[in-house]
Amino acid sequence: MGSSPKKNSREGTLLSSLHKGREQGRDPYLAQAPAAPASPHGQPAPAAPSPQSAPGKGCPACPGRTSSSAATRHARFVIIGLVIFVVAAVVASLMLGRYPISPDEALGMLASRLFPLDAFWTDQQATLFFNVRLPRILLGLMVGCSLAAAGAAFQGTFQNPLVSPDILGASQGAAFGAAIAILLGAAAFGVSASAFAFSIVAVLLVLLVGARAKGNHLMVVVLAGVMVSSLFSAGVSYTKLVADPANGELADITYWLMGSLTGAKTADVQMAAVPMAAGLAVLFALRWRINILTMGDDEAATMGVNARRTRIVVIAAATLVTASSVAVSGMIGWVGLVIPHLCRMLVGCDYRKLMPTSMLMGAGFLLLVDDIARLATTSEIPIGILTAFVGAPFFLYLITRKKQQ
């Protein structure tokens, strides 16, 4: 069924006004300016400029856009460059290691599963490729893509660029579920399943509190996320206290909390693929609606968009991909916070370009970090440590950069 002319006109007006505002450097995260109070003489005071009308206060990535066509061409070049970057990262991940695998050998081994080919690779290479290298590369791409997309979606939904995918307690809930499963002696699949289930439970608790509480809905949800995260964090601390260090329980919990792709298996990829694909598809399809959420509920209502319902759908999709990522990789921080900011500096704040850019950059970034983690030293470094080394200095740079402007 085709959409009505009135709806198409309304959406076109919204997107054109939003894009025009971003070309002039206006901040998509600032909320609508409050109405100006009346003067003592009863005359209304001059209206405070809204974020959509205040020049010079825009996103750092947006100033300088002189035309929508130029911005679109620039975004296309960036996306093409990121695709090349991801392909190069995959090739490098295949070739780096004690037993390197060339791209033609990798393609030959993949094609041998579909067509009869004479093997020009060793059995050792085939075992390494299908059981170790390929699952790890795929999982790194999936987790990086999911965390970056979830971070960008949460930042737009909550109109706050400091929000990360664990804002609603998904990571701490997953950590508690994994710790409980490790204490109970569960296998790897049981640990991942428990982490996924508790991650969803944590976010549901946050949304339940947000639905019952009064006041600013967004603020209540964020505060509820902080409280639920603290609650599950206390549970994780208690499980570490009672874990037996003699049989390796404490070491397993600690290592899981630092995040790693060590031991990635095809079963992990299969388990995470469906929820990740579903959540990413929803976020990609609703990326233009996230543009509306950044403008505030009142502005969305004037355009005929139910902001509350859209926000719930976006939160559900972002939570799904976050829970899936944490369940199979542990707690990997900073990716969902840093990558969207980097992408804004490249393509601006329009989510029609920002979302695919974040997905590609997040996938390539985490894959390269995983290569460093497994090759930098003789013993593998947890990915969470390396992402913190990269993310924290970059975040400090953003803070000081904003203060200087």
Q: Which residues contact 35 (CB under 8 A, 6 or more apart)?
A: 47, 48
Distance of CA 245 to the CA centre of its chain: 34
pLDDT digits (tens, 9 = 90+) for 272-293: 999 999 999 999 999 989 998 8
Query: What is the C-alpha separation between 201 and 213, in angstroms, rounded?
Result: 18
Percent of the chain at pLDDT exceeding 70: 82
Query: Coil, helix or strand for 282?
Result: helix
What pairs with residue 44 in β-bridges?
A: 38
φ/ψ of residue 140, rounded to 5: -65, -45
CATH code assigned to 77-404: 1.10.3470.10
Cβ partners under 8 Å of residue 85, min gap 6: 360, 361, 364
- Confidence at residue 241, expressed as pLDDT on a 0 to 100 scale: 94
Residue with tokens 């054109």: 16
Place of tokens 């393609």: 107
Compute the average pLDDT of residues 369-397.
88
**Residue 364, pLDDT score:** 95
Q: pLDDT-derived band of residue 396, with 50, 70 and 90 as boundaries?
A: confident
Nearest to 170 by CA among 34, 292, 278, 318: 318
pLDDT at 27: 41
* CA distances for 247 relative to 183, 186, 250, angstroms: 10, 14, 8
What is the SS3 assignment for 38?
strand
3-state secondary structure (DSSP) of residue 260:
coil
- Residues 139-157 pLDDT 10s: 999 999 999 999 999 999 9
What residues contact 385, with CB distance under 8 A and at least 6 apart? Answer: 258
At residue 403, the pLDDT reads 52
Helix (H, G, I), strand (E, B) or coil at 318: helix
Distance CA 136, CA 373 (A): 12
Using the structure block, give the residue that is written with the tokens 């975004």. Answer: 75
17-26, 35-44, 158-167: which range is least confident on average? 35-44
Which has more confidence, 142 or 6?
A: 142
pLDDT value at 61 more than 70: no
Determine how many CB atoms are found less than 10 A away from the CB of residue 40.
7
pLDDT digits (tens, 9 = 90+) for 177-228: 999 999 999 998 999 999 999 999 999 999 999 888 776 778 888 899 999 9
Confidence of residue 71 (pLDDT cuts 50, 70, 90): confident
Rounded to a whole number, what is the largest CA-CA distance in the chain? 91
Question: What tens digit of pLDDT does each residue of 356-379 get?
Answer: 999 999 999 999 999 999 988 878
Say whether pTM exceeds 0.85.
no
Give me the pLDDT at residue 54, please. Answer: 33
